[in-house]
Structure 1
C-alpha cells in the first residue's frame, strides 16, 4: 500500500518531496520513503536527500524513518551508519511485502547500529513509530 492510499495520509500534514529516485514524505515525527522500482540508492542520492531533510527540519532532527518497500530496489547497507551521523534517527522501520524484501531488511538490520524494525504492513510501521517513547 502506498502512503497516499493509507488512512494516515489525511490525518496529518506532510510535505511531499519527489526525487528522480523516489518519493519522500516529511512529517512531524517521521520521514517515509517510497523508492522507485529498480533504483540503487547510493550515497550521492542519500546526500541529495539529506540536503532536503536539513532544509526542512534543521540540523540533527530527532525523527524516525520508515522505508515503505512497495518497489524492489537496492541500497548499500553501510549507508545506514553514514546517515546516522547526519540525522538523529531515533529508529527505523522497513515495511516488507515479500520474502526477498525480508532478507534484504535482515541484512540491513545487521549492518545498522540503530534500531530497525521489520514490519509486514504500513499501518504496523506507522503505529510502531508513533508509539516510540521518545515521542511520548
Structure 2
C-alpha cells in the first residue's frame, strides 16, 4: 500500500493511494465548492475508470459546507466516503454531514478501520 502521489493544497493535504485518497484538511480551513474541484481533478488524474474511496482524516479543526456532498456524489467513480474524526464534536459534525451524501458513508475511530472498510468495499465492486 505505497503512496502514489502527495499534494499540498492551500487548505488540505491529499495522499493518493491505489483505490483511495486520504485527505487531511488544515487547521481553520473552510471547505467549500473549490474543494470538490480539486477532488474531482485528482480523481480524474489518478483514478480514471477505477472506483475509489475518499477518506477524511479529521485531525484538525475546520468548517465544511455540507452542500459540497451532493456535488461530490455526482463524481461517478467516487463510491464512498470514510470519516475519521478526532473529537466528539468532529464526530457529531460528520454524523450531520452524512445526511447530505447518498452513497456509502461511514465514520471510524481510526485509519485502520477506515482502510479495512475501503478495501472491503472496493473488493465487492
Both structures adopt the same fold (TM-score exceeding 0.5): yes
Q: What's 1:65 paired with? A: 54
Write the distance in 1 (CA, Å) between the matches of 2:19 and 2:67. 24
Deviations 1:105-136 (A, max 9, x none): 0111111111111101111111111122x325
Q: What is the CA-CA distance between 1:57 and the residue it aligns to?
A: 2.3
Map 1:107-118; keep pairs closer than 5 Å. Answer: 107-118=96-107
Contact 2:55 2:82 in 1 (8 A): yes
1:119 equivalent to 2:105? Answer: no
Give deviations 1:16-48, integer Å, cap 9, x for gaps. 111011100111111110000010011023213
Q: 2:94 aligns with which of 105, 117, 121?
A: 105
Partner of 2:45: 55
Query: CA contact under 8 A between 1:65 and 1:89: conserved in structure 2?
Result: yes
Long gaps (5+) in structure 1: 1-10
Q: Post-superposition shift, 1:13?
A: 3.1
Q: Does 1:86 align with 2:53?
A: no
Structure 2: state its 5+ residue gaps: none
Q: Distance in 2 between matches of 1:13 and 1:26?
A: 6
- Report the RMSD for the aligned CA atoms in angstroms: 1.6
